[in-house]
C-alpha cells in the first residue's frame, strides 16, 4: 500500500474509520457500534471526481451501492447497529463530448453497427473505418460512475445481449431502459427461476473495450474492473467479427 491513514466518526469506543491507497485507488473501512450514519470527509483524495463503490452491512445482509463524489465531500453512509462498510474509490476520467469514432485498442479498427442496421439486436463489431454514423458514438454519463455508449445513427445503446455473463456473447444495439430488470446502480432484481417476478428482458451494458483519440473514457463494467485501454477478454470477445 502506498499510503494509509486513520480517522474516526467519534470516540474510539463507539467506532472507527481507516483508509489506505493502492496505486490510484483508495479504500476505506468504517464501523460503528450504535445504529447511526457514519460520516467522514474525503479531503485525502486530493482533487477531482471520484466513483465510490460502497458495500455496507444491512439488516438482511450486505448491500452494494455506488455514487459519484468530489474530493473533499463528506461521505455519509447509514449503518445498522454494530455494522459498518467498506468503500472503494476510483477517480473518474474525463468523458469526451459529442459523437466520435471509437478505436479498438491495439488495432486500426473502430466500433461498428454491422451492415449499418437500425434494428434492435443488430450486432456491434469491429470494422475498418468508413466515417459512417453507424461508426460514431456518444458517451452519456449516468451519474453513478458508469457511462452509456450511444450510436449516432439511431440513438440506441451498446449492450451485452440478454445481460449474459457467458464468454462469446454478442454485443448488440438496443434502446436504453433505465428500469431494465438487471443490476442498476445499487439495486439488483431477481432473475426469476420460479422465485419472484421473471424479468421480461435481461440486458446490461458491460463494456465497450475501446479508446478514443483522447485516451480511455470509462472503466470496464464487468467484474474485472479493467481499464478501457487494456480491456479484459470478456469485453473483447463480443466485438470480434464472426
First to last CA, the chain: 43
Q: CA angle 69-216-150, nearest 5°?
A: 85
Show the 3-state SS of 119-150: CCCCEEEEECCCCCHHHEEEEEECCCCCEEEE
Beta carbons of 151 and 158 less than 8 angstroms apart: yes
Q: Can you read off the three cell numbers belonging to residue 83?
A: 455494522
Per-residue pLDDT reduced to its tens digit, 134-148: 999 999 988 766 789
What's the grid cell of residue 171?
A: 454485443
pLDDT at 34: 77
> Which of 174, 141, 179, 139 is CA-nearest to residue 160?
174
pLDDT score of 32: 86
Asked if residue 199 has pLDDT above 60, the reply is no
Residue 122 in grid coordinates: 443488430
153 within 8 A of 117, measured Cβ to Cβ: no
Per-residue confidence band for 81, with pLDDT thresholds at 50, 70 and 90: confident
Contact 205, 234 (CB under 8 A): no
What is the average pLDDT value for the chain, to the nearest integer?
75
DSSP code per residue over 17-38? EEEEEETTEEEEEEEESSSSEE
Name beta bridge partners: 28.
19, 87
Q: Which of 81, 94, 75, 79 is nearest to 26 (CA)?
A: 75
Query: Is this structure's pTM higher than 0.75?
Result: no
Closest CA to 142 of 89, 218, 90, 91: 218
pLDDT digits (tens, 9 = 90+) for 97-152: 999 999 999 999 999 999 999 999 999 999 999 999 999 999 998 876 678 999 99
- From CA 220, how far away is CA 157, in angstroms rounded? 15
Question: Grid coordinates representing 162?
Answer: 440478454
Amino acid at each position: 500500500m502506498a499510503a494509509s491513514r486513520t480517522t474516526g466518526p467519534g470516540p474510539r469506543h463507539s467506532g472507527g474509520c481507516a483508509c489506505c491507497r493502492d496505486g490510484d485507488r483508495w479504500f476505506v473501512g468504517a464501523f460503528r457500534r450504535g445504529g447511526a450514519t457514519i460520516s467522514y470527509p474525503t479531503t485525502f483524495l486530493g482533487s477531482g471526481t471520484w466513483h465510490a463503490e460502497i458495500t455496507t452491512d444491512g439488516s438482511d445482509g450486505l448491500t452494494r451501492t455506488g455514487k459519484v463524489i468530489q474530493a473533499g465531500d463528506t461521505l455519509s453512509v447509514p449503518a445498522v447497529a454494530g455494522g459498518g462498510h467498506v468503500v472503494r474509490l476510483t477517480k473518474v476520467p474525463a468523458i469526451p463530448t459529442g459523437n466520435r469514432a471509437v478505436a479498438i485498442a491495439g488495432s486500426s479498427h473502430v466500433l461498428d453497427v454491422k451492415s449499418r442496421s437500425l434494428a434492435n439486436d443488430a450486432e456491434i463489431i469491429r470494422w475498418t473505418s468508413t466515417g459512417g454514423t453507424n461508426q460514431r458514438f456518444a458517451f452519456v454519463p449516468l451519474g453513478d460512475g458508469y457511462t452509456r455508449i450511444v450510436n449516432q445513427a439511431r440513438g440506441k445503446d451498446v449492450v451485452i445481449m440478454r445481460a449474459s455473463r457467458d464468454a462469446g456473447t454478442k454485443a448488440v444495439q438496443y434502446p436504453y431502459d433505465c428500469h431494465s430488470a438487471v443490476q442498476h446502480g445499487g439495486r439488483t432484481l431477481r432473475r426469476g427461476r420460479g422465485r419472484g417476478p421473471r424479468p421480461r428482458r435481461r440486458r446490461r451494458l458491460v463494456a465497450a473495450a475501446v479508446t478514443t483519440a483522447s485516451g480511455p473514457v470509462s472503466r470496464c463494467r464487468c467484474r474485472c474492473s479493467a481499464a478501457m485501454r487494456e480491456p479484459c477478454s470478456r469485453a473483447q470477445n463480443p466485438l470480434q467479427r464472426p
